[in-house]
Amino acid sequence: MSDVVLHLLTIVGVLAAALTIAAGLIWGERRLLALWQDRYGPNRVGPFGLLQVVADIIKIFTKEDWIPPFADRAVFVLAPGIVFAAGLMVFAILPVTPGIAVVRLNVGVLYFLAISSLGAYGVVLAGWSSSSKYSLLGGMRAAAQVLTYEVFMGLSLMGVVMIAGSFDLGRIVEAQKNLWFCVPQFFGLLVFFMAGLAEAHRSPFDLPESDSELVAGYHSEYSGMKFGMFFVGEYLSITVISALIATLFFGGWLGPVLPPVVWFMLKTFVFIGGFILMRATLPRPRYDQLMALGWKLLLPLTLLNLLITGAIVLAAR
C-alpha cells in the first residue's frame, strides 16, 4: 500500500517539478538572455521579476482562444495536447536519484527515442490543421527536421549504450561511477546536444517557427492556452534533453558531498543554461544548411564514433 502511495507521490512530484521548471523557464530564459545582452529582463513583477511567471500564466489563460474558421477543428485542438503530453511522458524514465524514478525501464533509452518522435506528430498536425501556408511550411519543416535528427540522436546514444551495456538509464548512470561518459563519448555528446536542439526546435534550429520568414511557423494560428501548451511544451523538451544529457553523459545524480537530487538538478540547470546560451549566440541557419549539417557532417561523425567505440569495446572485452 505504502508502495503505491510512494509511487503516486513520485509521479506527482516529478510532474510538478517538470511543470514548475518549464514554467519557470518562461522567466528564466528571458532573464538569461537579458543578462547576456546587458539588459535586465523582467524585473518589475515581484522579487527579481519572478512573479512574471504568474502574470504570464494569468495572461495566457485569460486570452481569447481563437480557432480560425478555416482550421480542421478536431486536429487543431489535439495537436498542442500531443506536443505537451509527449514532452511530459519522457520524464517518467528519468532517474533523479537511485531511488526516485517514476519507472525504471530496461529499455529506457529506446522509450525516450520513441516518445520524442511522437512529439513531432503534434507539430506536424498543428501545421496541417491550421490550413495556413505558413503553418503548413512550418509543419513540413518540423517533420523533416525531426525525422533527420532522430537518426543521429539515436545513433549518438548507441556509444553510451555500448559502454554501459544497457538501455536502462539507471544502469547507465551507475556505469559512470569512475568516468563520466562525456569523456569517452565526447562526439556522442556533441551530436546528441545538437540533435537535442533540433528535436526541441530551439534556436538556432528553430526553422519550423522561424518568425522572420514563417510568421510563427506551425503555431501561427494558435492563441491563448493552446499556444501556451506549445510554449510550455518547448520548455519541457529543453528540460528533458538537458536532464538526459546530465544522465547519459555527466553521471546523473553522481557527485560528491551534495545529495544526489541536488547534483542531478544542478547538472540539468547547467545544460538548460547551455540551451539558452546557444539561442543568445547563434543565428539561424538556412534550411538546406541545417539538413546538410545533419547528413553530411553529423551522420559520418556518429557512424565513425560508433565504429571506434565498438572497436574499443570489443578490444577491451
Positions touching another protein (CB under 8 A) are 34-40, 277-278, 280-282
Minimum CB separation of residue 282 from another protein in Å reads 7
Candidates 159, 165, 148; CA nearest to 184 is 159
Q: Please, what's the b/e burial string for 118-143 (b: 16 or more CB within 10 A of its CB; e: otherwise)?
A: bbbbbbbbbbbbbebebbbbbbbbbb
The residue among 100 and 278 lying less far from another protein, judged by its C-beta, is 278
End-to-end Cα spacing for the chain: 44
The residue among 167 and 205 lying less far from another protein, judged by its C-beta, is 205
Minimum CB separation of residue 52 from another protein in Å reads 16
State whether the Cα torsion 252-263-114-133 is positive or negative. Answer: negative
The residue among 215 and 280 lying less far from another protein, judged by its C-beta, is 280
Minimum CB separation of residue 179 from another protein in Å reads 24
Q: In the Cβ-directed half-sphere of 5, how many Cα atoms lie within 13 Å?
A: 2
Minimum CB separation of residue 269 from another protein in Å reads 15
The residue among 140 and 280 lying less far from another protein, judged by its C-beta, is 280
- Torsion of Cα atoms, 95 then 99 then 105 then 107, to 10°: 50
The residue among 98 and 273 lying less far from another protein, judged by its C-beta, is 273
**Strands, DSSP E only, in 43-95?**
none
- Contact at 8 Å (CB) between 14 and 91? yes
Candidates 229, 215, 226; CA nearest to 67 is 226
Minimum CB separation of residue 289 from another protein in Å reads 13
Minimum CB separation of residue 315 from another protein in Å reads 30
The residue among 39 and 296 lying less far from another protein, judged by its C-beta, is 39
Minimum CB separation of residue 33 from another protein in Å reads 10
Residue type, 79: A
To the nearest 5 percent, what fractions of the chain are helix, strand and coil?
70, 0, 30
- Contact at 8 Å (CB) between 75 and 125? yes
Give the whole-angstrom CA distance, residue 158 versus residue 187: 12
- Contact at 8 Å (CB) between 208 and 145? yes
The residue among 60 and 293 lying less far from another protein, judged by its C-beta, is 293
